[in-house]
Amino acid sequence: MIDASALSEKPVLSGSRIRLAPLSIRHAAAFHATTLDPETRRLTGTHRRFTLEDIRAWCSGRADQKDRLDLAIEDLETGDYLGDLALLGVDADNAHGVLRIALVPGATDRGIGTEAIRLLLDHAFDRVRLHRVQLEVFAFNDRARRAYERCGFEVEGRMREALAWDGEWHDVLMMAALSSARPTTGAR
């Protein structure tokens, strides 16, 4: 049985290079800058433009959310904001939830996303007691798909032409990781 109170707790999760800390107003400016980056917008499928005030309001309300966990990814040494990730859409009856992640442009290709996802999956499987965590990734985002696969996610399906971007249609891949199929400790 999942622990329904686990999402209302906002933990700090530390890895070897990063820390996942509750997303708050102190992350708003860096978070906003990320939403302005054209490549980040493409990789996340973000069509809407957000103001700094929008992002401040969003970040300041994250601690009050009982049904989701929003965490900032911070450099362990410098405290710099490297992105964010969230565990949301938890279905208590079926012990599954949804993962979402976005990195700042300079944090890619360094294993930061992989480390962040593994930390969140450990929390989701061990503390929240989920059985399944799923996500969606655009078919053109091979780098993210490979990172997800390193964390135990497998492609389960394809939504054809589900994203309209710059006048073209793109497929969305559905992926999931199961607690029963987690990579062994040596693979982490």
Report DSSP letters for 119-146, one per residue: HHHHIIIIIS--SEEEEEEETT-HHHHH
pLDDT tens for 82-115 read: 999 999 999 999 999 999 999 998 888 889 999 9
Is pLDDT at 55 greater than 90 in this prediction? yes
All residues at 6 or more sequence positions from 43 whose CB lies less than 8 Å from its CB, including other chains: 102, 138, 141, 144
Q: What is the pLDDT of residue 7?
A: 86
Question: Is residue 47 within a helix (H) or strand (E), and if so which, with residue range?
Answer: none
Nearest to 173, CA basis, from 154, 147, 188, 151:
154
Neighbouring CB atoms inside 10 A of 13's CB total: 18
CATH match for 4-131 among 3.40.50.1100, 3.40.50.2300, 3.40.50.740, 3.40.630.30: 3.40.630.30
Rounded CA separation 84/50 (Å): 16
Burial of 117 (C-beta count, 10 Å sphere; 0-12/13-18/19+): buried
Going from N- to C-terminal start, the domains of the chain cover: 4-131
Share of the chain above pLDDT 90, in %: 86
Could you tell me the pLDDT band of residue 184, with boundaries at 50, 70 and 90?
low
pTM (predicted TM-score)? 0.92
Average pLDDT value for the chain? 92
